[in-house]
Amino acid sequence: MGYSGIFSPDEGNYPVVCVHEAVTGKPCPSCGLSHGFSLIVRGRLSEAIEWNSYSLRIFLFFFLQLLMRVGLSIWYIKIPAPALRNNLIAADSSVTVVMFLLAFWPMLRFLVTSF
Amino acid sequence: MEQKPDRSAQNFGIAALVTGIITFILAVIPCIGVIALIPGIITIILAVVGLTRSATEGRGLVIAGLIIGVVATMISASQLAIFSKGIGNRDNIVNEIRNAVEEVRTEILDEIESGDFSIRVESGGDVVEIKSRIDPEKLEKKIEKLEKLEGIAEPDTVKKK
Protein backbone atom coordinates (compact mmCIF):
# COMPACT_ATOMS: atom_id res chain seq x y z
CA MET A 1 0.00 0.00 0.00
CA GLY A 2 2.92 2.29 0.71
CA TYR A 3 4.35 1.47 -2.71
CA SER A 4 0.97 2.15 -4.35
CA GLY A 5 0.59 5.39 -2.42
CA ILE A 6 4.09 6.74 -3.13
CA PHE A 7 4.15 6.16 -6.88
CA SER A 8 1.65 8.13 -8.91
CA PRO A 9 -0.38 6.31 -11.59
CA ASP A 10 -0.41 9.49 -13.69
CA GLU A 11 3.40 9.74 -13.81
CA GLY A 12 3.93 5.99 -14.16
CA ASN A 13 7.42 6.11 -12.63
CA TYR A 14 7.32 2.60 -11.13
CA PRO A 15 10.71 1.08 -10.37
CA VAL A 16 9.57 -2.52 -10.93
CA VAL A 17 9.12 -3.45 -14.58
CA CYS A 18 7.55 -6.62 -15.93
CA VAL A 19 10.38 -9.12 -16.39
CA HIS A 20 8.12 -11.37 -18.46
CA GLU A 21 7.31 -8.64 -20.98
CA ALA A 22 10.94 -7.47 -21.07
CA VAL A 23 12.14 -10.98 -21.95
CA THR A 24 9.36 -12.38 -24.13
CA GLY A 25 7.93 -9.16 -25.56
CA LYS A 26 4.42 -10.21 -24.57
CA PRO A 27 2.36 -8.82 -21.67
CA CYS A 28 1.32 -11.15 -18.84
CA PRO A 29 -1.80 -11.23 -16.60
CA SER A 30 0.00 -9.28 -13.86
CA CYS A 31 0.97 -6.39 -16.13
CA GLY A 32 -0.66 -3.16 -14.92
CA LEU A 33 -1.06 -4.30 -11.31
CA SER A 34 1.13 -1.47 -9.93
CA HIS A 35 -0.96 1.08 -11.81
CA GLY A 36 -4.13 -0.69 -10.69
CA PHE A 37 -3.14 -0.69 -7.00
CA SER A 38 -2.16 2.99 -7.13
CA LEU A 39 -5.52 3.84 -8.66
CA ILE A 40 -7.44 1.74 -6.09
CA VAL A 41 -5.64 3.53 -3.23
CA ARG A 42 -6.81 6.82 -4.80
CA GLY A 43 -10.38 5.56 -5.19
CA ARG A 44 -10.31 5.36 -9.01
CA LEU A 45 -11.69 1.82 -9.21
CA SER A 46 -12.98 1.74 -12.79
CA GLU A 47 -9.62 3.00 -14.11
CA ALA A 48 -7.86 0.36 -12.01
CA ILE A 49 -9.95 -2.39 -13.59
CA GLU A 50 -9.11 -0.98 -17.01
CA TRP A 51 -5.39 -1.24 -16.24
CA ASN A 52 -5.69 -4.78 -14.93
CA SER A 53 -8.99 -6.61 -14.58
CA TYR A 54 -7.63 -8.71 -11.67
CA SER A 55 -6.22 -5.75 -9.73
CA LEU A 56 -9.27 -5.31 -7.49
CA ARG A 57 -9.47 -8.92 -6.33
CA ILE A 58 -5.71 -9.11 -5.68
CA PHE A 59 -5.78 -5.81 -3.80
CA LEU A 60 -8.72 -7.12 -1.74
CA PHE A 61 -6.72 -10.26 -0.93
CA PHE A 62 -3.79 -8.26 0.44
CA PHE A 63 -6.03 -5.79 2.25
CA LEU A 64 -8.15 -8.49 3.92
CA GLN A 65 -5.00 -10.46 4.80
CA LEU A 66 -3.57 -7.37 6.51
CA LEU A 67 -6.75 -6.99 8.58
CA MET A 68 -6.85 -10.73 9.31
CA ARG A 69 -3.21 -10.88 10.41
CA VAL A 70 -3.61 -7.96 12.82
CA GLY A 71 -6.99 -9.09 14.17
CA LEU A 72 -6.16 -12.78 14.46
CA SER A 73 -2.76 -12.10 16.07
CA ILE A 74 -4.52 -10.31 18.92
CA TRP A 75 -7.09 -13.10 19.11
CA TYR A 76 -4.42 -15.84 19.17
CA ILE A 77 -2.72 -14.16 22.11
CA LYS A 78 -5.97 -13.82 24.05
CA ILE A 79 -7.17 -17.40 23.54
CA PRO A 80 -5.78 -19.54 26.36
CA ALA A 81 -7.15 -22.98 25.29
CA PRO A 82 -4.75 -24.73 22.88
CA ALA A 83 -7.52 -26.80 21.26
CA LEU A 84 -9.54 -23.72 20.36
CA ARG A 85 -6.39 -22.01 19.12
CA ASN A 86 -5.57 -24.97 16.87
CA ASN A 87 -9.10 -24.87 15.42
CA LEU A 88 -8.72 -21.18 14.74
CA ILE A 89 -5.34 -21.73 13.03
CA ALA A 90 -6.89 -24.45 10.83
CA ALA A 91 -9.82 -22.20 9.90
CA ASP A 92 -7.48 -19.27 9.24
CA SER A 93 -5.24 -21.38 6.99
CA SER A 94 -8.21 -22.78 5.03
CA VAL A 95 -9.78 -19.36 4.48
CA THR A 96 -6.40 -17.92 3.43
CA VAL A 97 -5.80 -20.72 0.90
CA VAL A 98 -9.30 -20.24 -0.61
CA MET A 99 -8.78 -16.47 -0.76
CA PHE A 100 -5.38 -16.97 -2.39
CA LEU A 101 -6.82 -19.28 -5.05
CA LEU A 102 -9.69 -16.88 -5.79
CA ALA A 103 -7.35 -13.90 -6.09
CA PHE A 104 -4.47 -15.52 -7.97
CA TRP A 105 -6.33 -18.07 -10.08
CA PRO A 106 -5.72 -16.21 -13.39
CA MET A 107 -1.97 -16.08 -12.67
CA LEU A 108 -1.84 -19.77 -11.74
CA ARG A 109 -3.80 -20.66 -14.88
CA PHE A 110 -1.40 -18.56 -16.97
CA LEU A 111 1.62 -20.35 -15.47
CA VAL A 112 0.09 -23.76 -16.14
CA THR A 113 -1.07 -22.97 -19.69
CA SER A 114 2.25 -21.31 -20.63
CA PHE A 115 4.02 -24.66 -20.69
CA MET B 1 19.93 -24.91 37.72
CA GLU B 2 17.17 -25.39 35.12
CA GLN B 3 18.33 -25.47 31.50
CA LYS B 4 16.37 -23.41 28.96
CA PRO B 5 15.09 -25.34 25.91
CA ASP B 6 16.82 -24.49 22.61
CA ARG B 7 14.27 -22.53 20.61
CA SER B 8 16.59 -21.66 17.70
CA ALA B 9 15.12 -24.42 15.50
CA GLN B 10 11.63 -23.08 16.06
CA ASN B 11 12.81 -19.55 15.26
CA PHE B 12 14.43 -20.78 12.04
CA GLY B 13 11.19 -22.61 11.25
CA ILE B 14 9.10 -19.45 11.71
CA ALA B 15 11.58 -17.45 9.58
CA ALA B 16 11.52 -20.12 6.84
CA LEU B 17 7.71 -20.30 6.90
CA VAL B 18 7.23 -16.53 6.66
CA THR B 19 9.86 -16.18 3.91
CA GLY B 20 8.36 -19.19 2.14
CA ILE B 21 4.84 -17.72 2.10
CA ILE B 22 6.14 -14.38 0.77
CA THR B 23 8.20 -16.23 -1.85
CA PHE B 24 5.18 -18.29 -2.88
CA ILE B 25 3.04 -15.17 -3.44
CA LEU B 26 5.86 -13.49 -5.40
CA ALA B 27 6.50 -16.63 -7.47
CA VAL B 28 2.96 -16.86 -8.85
CA ILE B 29 3.02 -13.27 -10.14
CA PRO B 30 4.42 -13.58 -13.70
CA CYS B 31 5.88 -10.04 -13.75
CA ILE B 32 8.24 -10.67 -10.84
CA GLY B 33 8.15 -14.46 -10.52
CA VAL B 34 11.80 -14.98 -11.42
CA ILE B 35 12.94 -12.57 -8.69
CA ALA B 36 11.37 -14.96 -6.16
CA LEU B 37 14.27 -17.36 -6.78
CA ILE B 38 16.40 -15.35 -4.35
CA PRO B 39 14.02 -15.47 -1.33
CA GLY B 40 13.25 -19.06 -2.33
CA ILE B 41 16.87 -20.09 -1.88
CA ILE B 42 17.02 -18.12 1.40
CA THR B 43 13.93 -20.01 2.61
CA ILE B 44 15.49 -23.38 1.82
CA ILE B 45 18.74 -22.40 3.60
CA LEU B 46 16.81 -21.23 6.68
CA ALA B 47 14.77 -24.45 6.74
CA VAL B 48 17.84 -26.67 6.33
CA VAL B 49 19.66 -24.84 9.15
CA GLY B 50 16.51 -25.22 11.28
CA LEU B 51 16.34 -28.94 10.51
CA THR B 52 19.94 -29.52 11.56
CA ARG B 53 19.30 -27.76 14.88
CA SER B 54 15.91 -29.28 15.69
CA ALA B 55 15.46 -32.40 17.74
CA THR B 56 11.67 -32.58 18.06
CA GLU B 57 10.47 -29.14 19.02
CA GLY B 58 9.60 -26.90 16.07
CA ARG B 59 10.33 -29.61 13.52
CA GLY B 60 6.85 -29.28 11.99
CA LEU B 61 7.32 -25.58 11.34
CA VAL B 62 10.71 -26.16 9.74
CA ILE B 63 9.36 -28.91 7.47
CA ALA B 64 6.38 -26.74 6.47
CA GLY B 65 8.76 -23.88 5.66
CA LEU B 66 10.99 -26.21 3.66
CA ILE B 67 8.08 -27.61 1.61
CA ILE B 68 6.66 -24.16 0.84
CA GLY B 69 10.16 -22.87 0.01
CA VAL B 70 10.90 -25.74 -2.37
CA VAL B 71 7.51 -25.45 -4.12
CA ALA B 72 7.84 -21.65 -4.44
CA THR B 73 11.39 -21.98 -5.82
CA MET B 74 10.19 -24.58 -8.32
CA ILE B 75 7.35 -22.28 -9.49
CA SER B 76 9.81 -19.41 -9.78
CA ALA B 77 12.30 -21.54 -11.71
CA SER B 78 9.52 -22.77 -13.99
CA GLN B 79 9.09 -19.19 -15.19
CA LEU B 80 12.57 -19.42 -16.68
CA ALA B 81 11.28 -22.23 -18.88
CA ILE B 82 8.31 -20.06 -19.88
CA PHE B 83 10.76 -17.27 -20.77
CA SER B 84 12.86 -19.52 -22.95
CA LYS B 85 9.68 -20.67 -24.71
CA GLY B 86 8.61 -17.05 -25.13
CA ILE B 87 12.00 -16.11 -26.58
CA GLY B 88 11.69 -19.03 -29.02
CA ASN B 89 8.25 -17.80 -30.09
CA ARG B 90 9.56 -14.27 -30.49
CA ASP B 91 12.36 -15.55 -32.76
CA ASN B 92 9.76 -17.44 -34.80
CA ILE B 93 7.64 -14.30 -35.16
CA VAL B 94 10.71 -12.31 -36.27
CA ASN B 95 11.56 -14.98 -38.84
CA GLU B 96 7.96 -15.05 -40.11
CA ILE B 97 7.96 -11.27 -40.53
CA ARG B 98 11.35 -11.40 -42.26
CA ASN B 99 10.12 -14.10 -44.68
CA ALA B 100 6.91 -12.16 -45.40
CA VAL B 101 8.89 -8.97 -46.12
CA GLU B 102 11.26 -10.92 -48.37
CA GLU B 103 8.30 -12.44 -50.28
CA VAL B 104 6.71 -9.01 -50.80
CA ARG B 105 10.06 -7.60 -51.90
CA THR B 106 10.57 -10.39 -54.45
CA GLU B 107 7.03 -9.92 -55.80
CA ILE B 108 7.51 -6.16 -56.16
CA LEU B 109 10.85 -6.62 -57.91
CA ASP B 110 9.32 -9.20 -60.28
CA GLU B 111 6.46 -6.86 -61.10
CA ILE B 112 8.80 -3.96 -61.69
CA GLU B 113 10.97 -6.10 -63.96
CA SER B 114 7.95 -7.32 -65.95
CA GLY B 115 6.60 -3.79 -66.08
CA ASP B 116 3.33 -4.53 -64.27
CA PHE B 117 2.56 -2.11 -61.46
CA SER B 118 -0.44 -2.24 -59.21
CA ILE B 119 -0.64 0.05 -56.21
CA ARG B 120 -3.69 -0.26 -53.98
CA VAL B 121 -4.24 2.05 -51.02
CA GLU B 122 -7.14 1.56 -48.61
CA SER B 123 -7.95 4.16 -45.99
CA GLY B 124 -11.18 4.67 -44.05
CA GLY B 125 -13.31 2.84 -46.62
CA ASP B 126 -11.80 4.70 -49.59
CA VAL B 127 -9.84 2.64 -52.07
CA VAL B 128 -7.37 4.08 -54.54
CA GLU B 129 -5.89 1.71 -57.07
CA ILE B 130 -3.27 2.58 -59.66
CA LYS B 131 -2.55 0.02 -62.35
CA SER B 132 0.17 0.32 -64.93
CA ARG B 133 1.15 -2.16 -67.59
CA ILE B 134 4.42 -1.29 -69.26
CA ASP B 135 6.20 -3.38 -71.81
CA PRO B 136 9.93 -2.91 -71.15
CA GLU B 137 10.85 -3.26 -74.85
CA LYS B 138 8.30 -0.63 -75.87
CA LEU B 139 9.55 1.63 -73.09
CA GLU B 140 13.13 1.22 -74.28
CA LYS B 141 12.19 2.05 -77.90
CA LYS B 142 10.23 5.08 -76.73
CA ILE B 143 13.23 6.37 -74.79
CA GLU B 144 15.55 5.85 -77.78
CA LYS B 145 13.09 7.67 -80.06
CA LEU B 146 12.85 10.57 -77.66
CA GLU B 147 16.63 10.81 -77.40
CA LYS B 148 17.03 10.84 -81.19
CA LEU B 149 14.39 13.51 -81.58
CA GLU B 150 15.60 15.85 -78.89
CA GLY B 151 19.26 14.85 -78.67
CA ILE B 152 19.32 15.37 -74.95
CA ALA B 153 21.52 12.39 -74.16
CA GLU B 154 23.64 9.75 -75.79
CA PRO B 155 21.99 6.25 -75.98
CA ASP B 156 24.86 4.78 -73.89
CA THR B 157 23.94 6.93 -70.92
CA VAL B 158 20.45 5.42 -70.69
CA LYS B 159 20.31 2.64 -68.16
CA LYS B 160 18.86 -0.50 -69.59
CA LYS B 161 17.44 -3.13 -67.35
In this structure, the dihedral spanned by the alpha carbons of residues B14, B17, B22 and B28, taken in order and rounded to 10 degrees, is 180
Give the C-alpha separation, B147 to B140, whole Å.
Answer: 11
Closest CA to A4 of A27, A33, A26: A33
Neighbours of B18 (CB within 10 A): 14
pLDDT over 50 at B98, yes or no: yes
The 3-state secondary structure of B48-107 reads HHHHHHCCCCCHHHHHHHHHHHHHHHHHHHHHHHHHHHHHHHHHHHHHHHHHHHHHHHHH
How many angstroms separate the CA of residue B85 from the nearest CA in chain A? 8
Name the domain count of chain A. Answer: 1
Give the C-alpha separation, A75 to B95, whole Å.
Answer: 61
Interface test with A, best of B31, B34, B80, B94 (most A CBs within 10 A): B31
Containing structural domain, residue A76:
2-113
Give the C-alpha separation, A108 to A103, whole Å.
Answer: 10
Question: pLDDT above 70 covers what percent of chain A?
Answer: 100
The whole-number pLDDT of residue B160 equals 45
> Cα dist. A20→A25, A39, B27, B34 in Å?
7, 23, 12, 9
The chain-wide mean pLDDT, for chain B, equals 78
B78 interfacial to chain A (CB closer than 8 Å): yes
pLDDT over 90 at B127, yes or no: no
Interface test with A, best of B29, B85, B97 (most A CBs within 10 A): B29
Mean pLDDT of B4-21: 82
- Look at B29 and A107 and tell me if their CB atoms are within 8 Å: yes
- Look at B29 and A108 and tell me if their CB atoms are within 8 Å: no
pLDDT over 70 at B3, yes or no: no
**ipTM reported for the complex surpasses 0.95:** no
Instruction: Kindly list the residues of chain A whose beta carbon comes within 8 Å of any beta carbon in chain B.
Output: 16-21, 23-26, 28-31, 33, 100, 104, 107-108, 110-111, 114-115
pTM, entire model: 0.66
pLDDT over 80 at B112, yes or no: no
